[in-house]
Amino acid sequence: MQKQRCERVRDLWSQVDALMMGMNWTREDVEKPQILVDDVQGDSHPGSYHLDVLSEEASIGVYEAGGRPAKFHVTDICDGWAQGHEGMNFILCSRGIIADMVEIHASVIPWDGMLLLSGCDKSTPAHLMAAARMDIPTIHIPAGAMRSGPGNSTSGLAGPLSARKKKGHVDLAEMRDYKLTGCPSCGACQFMGTASTMQCMSEALGMALPGTALMPATMAEIRRMARAAGKHILYLAEKGITARKIMTKANFTNAMKVHAAIGGSTNAYIHMPAIAHELGLELHPREFDAIGQEIKYITNIQPSGKYTAELFWFAGGIPMVQHMLRDQLDLDVLTVTGHSLGDSLAMLEQDGFFNRCLGHLKSYGIPREDVIRTTEQSDKCGSIAVLEGNLAPQGAVVKYAAVKPDMHRHIGPAAVFDSEDDAQSAIIAGKIRPGSVVVIRYEGPKGSGMPEMFMTTDAIVYDETLNGTVAIVTDGRFSGATSGPCIGHVSPEAVDGGPIALLENDDLIEINIPERALRVVGVKGEEKTSEEVEAVLAERRKNWTLPERPEKRGVLKRYSDSAVSAMEGAYMR
């Protein structure tokens, strides 16, 4: 039996053993390797609801391998419940709090290893941040994907339905049917939003067992894989393979390439730098953009494509994407298998993983190439661009894979709002003109906690007079399900006096995705030279003062007071 990391602590203070035995541990248990099993289970949303089942399976695996699990919990929260009210301001903040609590759990005694179970927007990056801090043997167990809704639909139908409801265009039967079928099971939402993206990033970073990201949450396979992770953590503990040995810059580079190939969420541009920061690595969204211009976009998953997340897994999931990109990936990087990425993929194939997945896909009558293309079949590269210019000196991001080509270059008059609520009200009331650029400011990390703006984007997308001609520019962020010309993370943010704070109605805003530019090019509807624009902005700056903002208290105040910019990762200093 391997030596425990906590042996010295147990010898130092006998109450450690007594406390364990007070929870039905035996005398033999306290001598075994001790594994922290930390999940985000709770009645918070379907992505976490079932994690008690997977946590139990993982714990059985620990027992089977000769260890003793200890279960801890930090329930996460859901963007879906927080839409349209002040609760959304707390969503991004929760990432750091979850990471802090897992760090606290992981520090109470020297654990031999750690299993982290999560699958949604903020909990997965939080767990990877905590793993980076603790640097002990760790496996992340993804929560899997929700089953598809009727007609290959997703929970994202809430956006168009809510927008149409506000205009009186939805009958009660349609709304009832959506509520009954929009989330037909537990698991992360069915599109390549932030939850799905971050599960994929965990696997691409080598922190989850191969093939576990977006595994359908109701299938027996996900329970078997959770148990396998529980058994395997003892191997990592024995070999001393810790999180920092896996999450290297080479693995981050691999993950950025995978992100480009799957059309991942813009929010990964916040989460991945924050994870890297915990490792002492610098990761700027510009690196994503540069890589994205070289990597083919090969998946066909909503919101940029046609299919749902479970069909992505049936087509082979992340291992198939890595197989397609094998000539562009570093296959020598270490993963939680204890082997290189190349060897791990080979072992997965030998075990029949791809054949089993394709067997499920055949039930739908869909060829794999319709869901995951080869690089030769794709004529598009990447999915997200980093834009810079006099409106965003430190950068902004846009998911151009979800933007119609005729909006990749656009100049329009600004319609400026100091909150998302005001902007949405104006959209619903029909006060926004086609061709406008809706500017929403004071919604960055320091401004209001950086809420996502799913309801506002959908209000535009599902307005026939605005869809395809109106863009949004904000220092806030967007849902991973967002489509259309939506530019977020504008930095510096308005609270810090960034140029976005100086905009006025009818200033002309240029969006140029091919040139990676976001610029003010005119004033009061009249085009100006760059020198003239700079002079106008400089004059406005002399008179600018921070508007009175709603008072913050508690955790949101602590977050806003200490958050870095979105382009750095929006983490707390």
The secondary structure element, H or E, covering residue 59 is helix 51-64
Q: What is the pLDDT of residue 462?
A: 74
Lowest mean pLDDT among 103-112, 339-348, 406-415, 460-469: 460-469
Say yes or no to pLDDT of 174 above 90.
no
* DSSP for residue 85: S
Whether the bond into 303 is cis, omega within 30 of 0: yes
Integer-rounded Cα radius of gyration of the chain: 24
Rounded Cα gap, residues 99 and 101, in angstroms: 6
The pTM of the whole model exceeds 0.85: yes
- Tell me the one-letter amino acid at 320: M
Rounded Cα gap, residues 274 and 566, in angstroms: 10
Say yes or no to pLDDT of 340 above 90.
yes
Query: What burial letters (b/e) apply to 524-554, b meaning 16+ CB within 10 Å?
Result: eeeebeeeebeebbeeeeeeeeeeeeeeeee
Q: How many helices (H) and strands (E) are present in the chain, helices listed first?
A: 24, 13
* DSSP for residue 334: B
**Residues 344, 347, 352, CA angle at the centre, nearest 5°?**
130
Q: What is the pLDDT of residue 1?
A: 54
Within its chain, how far is the Cα of 365 from the centroid? 30
Mean pLDDT of the chain: 94
> What confidence tens digit (pLDDT) does each residue in 122-149 have?
999 999 999 999 999 999 999 999 999 9
pLDDT-derived band at 419 (thresholds 50, 70, 90) equals very high
- The three-class DSSP label of residue 216 is strand
The length of the chain, given as a count of residues: 573
pLDDT-derived band at 35 (thresholds 50, 70, 90) equals very high
Burial of residue 427 (number of CB atoms within 10 Å: 0-12, 13-18, 19+): buried
> What confidence tens digit (pLDDT) does each residue in 281-313 have?
999 999 999 999 999 999 999 988 999 999 999
Say yes or no to pLDDT of 320 above 80.
yes
Whether the bond into 492 is cis, omega within 30 of 0: yes
406 in Cβ contact with 500 (< 8 Å) = no
332 in Cβ contact with 341 (< 8 Å) = yes
Q: What is the pLDDT of residue 178?
A: 87
Read off the pLDDT of each residue in 499-513 and give the average, rounded to a whole number.
98
Q: What is the pLDDT of residue 163?
A: 67
Rounded Cα gap, residues 138 and 443, in angstroms: 35
Say yes or no to pLDDT of 479 above 60.
yes
| Beta partners for residue 509, in sequence order | 412, 520
Helical axes 194-204 vs 123-134, angle rounded to 10°: 30
> Which residues have a catalytic role annotated?
479
